[in-house]
A and B are shown apart, each in its own frame.
Chain A
Amino acid sequence: DAGVIQSPRHEVTEMGQEVTLRCKPISGHNSLFWYRQTMMRGLELLIYFNNNVPIDDSGMPEDRFSAKMPNASFSTLKIQPSEPRDSAVYFCASLRGTDTQYFGPGTRLTVL
């Protein structure tokens, strides 16, 4: 199994630009999670989907953030417009049923 796949691995952009992060969960997994990791706040859950439906987006910081899961094998996290304080590592994780979450390698985002 290829594991959770995320792209890009690194993204550098300028303030105000739109950023789109992508995730492909492990085949057969029916839940998907987006996290943000910073030194100050640790791992924060942004949103999670179950069977492609957003279940809890209470962690999404503000309206500039949006996430979609059009099908079972693909999800996006979009930031528009981006700000320097959005700089962080963004992780996607997936699970099947009540098993544990498996994390992708992350996308390191730098907003200048």
Chain B
Amino acid sequence: GENVEQHPSTLSVQEGDSAVIKCTYSDSASNYFPWYKQELGKGPQLIIDIRSNVGEKKDQRIAVTLNKTAKHFSLHITETQPEDSAVYFCAASIGGNNRLAFGKGNQVVVIP
């Protein structure tokens, strides 16, 4: 089955710097890759997603890049702010259907 791994597990950045989180996946049939942000005591919230026919997608300070050949995708957060502190999960669709396989999550800490 699909295996999704995230690196690093914890990331600390100074406010204003950029943060990058990388994920790898194993199933070449995966075609949908969302990123979720989870704050303490809340459910995961979608922040950006990308489909396999696109290499990069950007939404204000957040961007996602996808390399299908290498089977990895990354989340880029620029000009980080304290409210960006959270756990970020990457996911990949399983076999091209509606199910998702999630990574273990990255704790991002933005230091004011």
Q: Which of B43, B100, B103 contacts A104 (CB 8 A)?
A: B43
Interface positions of B from 56 to 102, Cβ below 8 Å from A = 89, 98-100, 102
B residues near A93, Cβ cutoff 8 Å: 43
B residues near A91, Cβ cutoff 8 Å: 43-44
The size bracket of the interface on B is: 10 to 19
The size bracket of the interface on A is: 20 to 34
Q: Is the CB of A45 within 8 A of B42?
A: no
Interface positions of A from 57 to 112, Cβ below 8 Å from B = 91, 93, 95, 98, 100-106
Q: Which of B43, B98, B105 contacts A105 (CB 8 A)?
A: B43
Q: Which of A45, A100, A106 contacts B99 (CB 8 A)?
A: A45
Main secondary structure, interface of A, reads strand
Residue A56 is within 8 A (CB to CB) of chain B in the complex: yes
Given A43-B89, A56-B99, A100 and B42 contact (CB-CB distance below 8 Å): no
Residue B29 is within 8 A (CB to CB) of chain A in the complex: no
Q: Is the CB of A100 within 8 A of B43?
A: no
Q: Is the CB of B105 within 8 A of A102?
A: no
Given A100-B34, A103-B36, A43 and B42 contact (CB-CB distance below 8 Å): no
Q: Which residues of B contact A (CB under 8 A)?
A: 32, 34, 36, 42-46, 49, 89, 98-100, 102-105
Q: Which residues of A contact B (CB under 8 A)?
A: 4, 31, 33, 42-43, 45, 48, 50, 56, 91, 93, 95, 98, 100-106
Known pairs A31-B98, A102-B46 / 8 extra A-B pairs, C-beta < 8 Å: A42-B105, A43-B44, A48-B99, A91-B43, A98-B32, A100-B49, A105-B42, A105-B43
